[in-house]
Structure 1
């Protein structure tokens, strides 16, 4: 029987896993692959945000702690005064952002997506509130589409 070689997780895989763990996201899909459902919202910001600007917009206490930097994105984590935990990412390219999202959504989770930035929050209501401040679209790969 053929068994494909296992590849170790690369930097992007580790970043995805860390983002999902820090955000408290779980797949909840039981292995079922479903299409991504994006909710309608305000238009995303025209310019890419910085981790610091994203953190300030969602009410983080202090600057986000940088949790990783690759050639194409920066990742930070922070906690707001009301106890919400955020994973914040900024991307250098649109393609890099879409590639990261496509990979991350294989593991489940819900993301607020703007122009070259993504965030996730626990609890989800904090992320939905952040949309009022930042714009963007909430992408939920576990949402059922008709």
Structure 2
């Protein structure tokens, strides 16, 4: 579990506000262009891939973060945006990792024993056509939206 926490901390280091150049995001999962309910987005078939295969498909050189209990992490810069690539030895390991990582926010493209993590739906949704998978969102993190963007209290 300690290795999981360390890996999650490393993952979120590349996914903070401003790392994508999109200052309007306000942090992981903040309101804005990501207000789409991802549960209604279709899932697309995917196949198992490694972080190296994902990086090749993205056209970037991965910065390998290491091999942990049953997964590998890497980072890639794609069109000025940093994404985190993760592959898993087992589907169970992926499910557990994803359950815990969603507490840190972000948007995830979840494939068969791999995932790509970014800051926004705008960054991640185009990758679904390339790799397949299902888009999922983490919890909202970052500053609250401006008062003008909040729903009125009743």
**Superposition TM-score, scaled by structure 2 size:** 0.71
Structure 2: segments with no counterpart, 5+ residues: 18-26, 31-36, 141-154
Alpha-carbon RMSD across the aligned residues, in angstroms, is 2.4
Structure 1: segments with no counterpart, 5+ residues: 1-8, 30-35
Q: 90-99 or 49-58: which moved more?
A: 49-58
Task: Determine which structure has greater relative contact order: mean sequence separation of CA pairs < 8 Å that are 6+ residues apart, divided by chain length.
Answer: 1
Counterpart in the other structure of 1:50: 50
Which residue among 74, 77, 83 is the counterpart of 1:76? 74
Is 1:57–1:130's contact at 8 Å kept on the other side of the alignment?
Answer: no
Structure 2 CA distance for aligned equivalents of residues 119 and 44 of structure 1: 15
1:20 and 2:12 aligned: yes
Structure number with the higher helix fraction is 2
Is 1:15–1:68's contact at 8 Å kept on the other side of the alignment?
Answer: no
Structure 1 CA distance for aligned equivalents of residues 29 and 109 of structure 2: 18
> How many residue pairs were aligned?
125
Is 2:11–2:84's contact at 8 Å kept on the other side of the alignment?
Answer: yes
Superimposed CA distance per residue, residues 23-53 of structure 1 (whole angstroms, 9 cap, x where no aligned partner) = 2264568xxxxxx95343342313x101111
Structure 2 CA distance for aligned equivalents of residues 138 and 22 of structure 1: 19
1:10 and 2:2 aligned: yes
Alignment partner of 1:38: what SS?
Answer: helix
| 1:21-40 equivalent positions in 2, closer than 5 A | 21-24=13-16, 26=27, 38-40=39-41
